[in-house]
Amino acid sequence: MGHELFIAPSILSADFTRLAEAVALVEDAGADLIHVDVMDGRFVPNLTIGPPVVRELKRVARQPLDVHLMVEDPDRTAGWYVDAGADIVTVHIEAAVHAHRTLCAIREGGAMAGITLNPGTPASAIAEVLPYVDLVLVMSVNPGFGGQSFIESSIAKVREIVRMCRDAGVSPRIEVDGGIDPHTAPRVVDAGADTLVAGNAIFGQPDPAAALAELRRSALTRSV
């Protein structure tokens, strides 16, 4: 099949005092995107980073910044991340009351627009906005923390979203985030995902560069 596969290491699992080194390490190992988890302590029970750190990351990163906003009011704040240099800005359908307007604004700002949904949110929730997104992110854990276990029903949800996109005549990237490792990766790719986020499976390993290579190799091995 030979379709393109993007690996997006999540720096949530990296050493926050050495982010530039973490970014360089995975870029040298072949990362396609740098996944940046923004949490506001309200939409999710954890608090991470905001626009100033995204701006600094943009100065050092060679690969595009894939910014995942786990925040309560993305309609108000998504633009901050576009301005900070994010290449992809992804918002949660559960939080973006004005998702259509926000996604259009992200694109108008010059970034790619992504929509994401929690494990408990049905695929149908994003149907109306599919024509306005460049990427759909399927959360395969409840957002907030790295290192959680993959939720099995995510596989069926990826398949359903792939079908919905085909029916709508659109082809956004399909990204999966949470519990991705060499066992789950080939299964989500088989379901139609083309972009894999991985935190613990890369930065939680003794040799993150080797772990990234192993993840890519496993993802390209078709599950039978």
Q: Which is nearest to 81 in space by CA: 115, 48, 58?
A: 58
Cα of 113 vs its chain's centroid, Å: 11
Determine the size of the site formed for ligand DX5 (CB under 6 A): 22
User: Between residues 195 and 200, which has the closer beta carbon with respect to ligand DX5?
Assistant: 200
DSSP 3-state assignment of 115? Answer: strand
Q: Going residue by residue from 13 to 52, which x/- string records binding to Zn ion, judged by CB under 5 A?
A: ------------------------x---------------
User: Between residues 90 and 102, which has the closer beta carbon with respect to Zn ion?
Assistant: 90
d(CA 71, CA 175): 19
End-to-end CA distance of the chain: 14
Residue 179 engages ligand DX5 in binding (rule: CB under 6 A): yes
Indicate which residue of 32, 134, 177, 194 is catalytic: 177
User: Between residues 85 and 146, which has the closer beta carbon with respect to ligand DX5?
Assistant: 146
The interface region with ligand DX5, picked from 26-34, 92-100, 161-169, 195-203 by CB under 6 A, is: 195-203
Residue 147 engages ligand DX5 in binding (rule: CB under 6 A): yes
HSE-CB of 206 using CA atoms within 13 angstroms: 0
CB 70 within 8 A of CB 44: yes
Q: Which is nearest to 46 in space by CA: 160, 143, 154, 177?
A: 143
Positions that interact with ligand DX5 (CB under 6 A): 10, 12-13, 35, 37, 68, 141, 143-148, 177-180, 197-201
Provide the annotated active-site residues: 37, 177
